[in-house]
Amino acid sequence: MNIKTPKVIANWKMNLMPHQAHDVVENIIDLCPKASSDIIICPSYTHLYPLRDLIKDNIFLGAQNCHDKTSGAYTGEISALMLADLGVSYVILGHSERRELGPYENLSIKAKIRAAFNAGLQVVYCCGEPDSMREAGNHEDYVLKQLSSDLFDFELSELTKLSIAYEPIWAIGTGKTASPEEAQAMHLFIRNTISQQFGIELAHSMAILYGGSVKAKNAGILAFQNDIDGFLVGGASLDPNEFAAIVNVFL
């Protein structure tokens, strides 16, 4: 196990009403009194302001996306500076559900990361392969292409504000989960890639998280893997008891 502080991220996606969000987060806090991990709650934009008063100690607020421009005529978009002004600390970028919306999403990831860094936000950068790439044995090549396209132009010093979430697309919301061995192998590949490009110090200090149908019943064995530093949790993060059980595997 790595000695760095684990991160457990709740990606609520487009779920829960604003009036429900406060109680869910309060329940999570009550159920994790001795948490040794950083807990990042990423609700819909509409929930960010009312949840800001609950942020304390190792509880952080995150957003699920941001625009790559600081301001302008971009109807319906939210800038990284707006998020930072609300007290948001993290933003998820490159999630597969965003990438699937069209080519603009993939092409804008690097600019979004830059905007987030400039606003002082921590970035949770997502990468992962579809089922066809895994079955063909091309999963490492696929992820390497994502990493090189989105991250390799940054300076080493900038990437100290970035965590990577490996999320095999075939395991998101499907009930399938990468085996501990599959997850560890890809996490090690990602860490080695970062080491080769930016140096071993950054590679060892960077948190690499697993996302893909993480639940209380599989979190323990996944957390035991040497290169898994936490989780990006989807559906299970909507249930305070389930999410707390995931957080508490790092006690």
Q: Cα(251)–Cα(247) distance, rounded to whole angstroms?
A: 8
Residue 1 contacts by C-beta under 8 Å, 6 or more apart in sequence?
Answer: 223, 224, 226
Distances in Å between the Cα of 34 and the Cα atoms of 2, 14, 180 are 19, 29, 26
Beta bridge partners of 62: 90
**Size of the chain in residues:** 251
- How far is C-alpha 7 from the geometric centre of its chain's CA atoms? 9
Q: Cα(79)–Cα(90) distance, rounded to whole angstroms?
A: 13
Query: Which residue among the candidates 95, 105, 129, 187 is catalytic per the annotation?
Result: 95
Place of tokens 């990438």: 99
DSSP H helical ranges for the chain = 18-31, 45-51, 80-85, 96-99, 103-107, 109-118, 131-135, 139-151, 180-198, 200-205, 216-223, 240-247
Distances in Å between the Cα of 230 and the Cα atoms of 126, 148, 215 are 13, 23, 12
> Catalytic annotation on 95?
yes
Query: Which residue among the candidates 97, 105, 129, 167 is catalytic per the annotation?
Result: 167
Q: Cα(110)–Cα(118) distance, rounded to whole angstroms?
A: 12
Catalytic residues: 95, 167
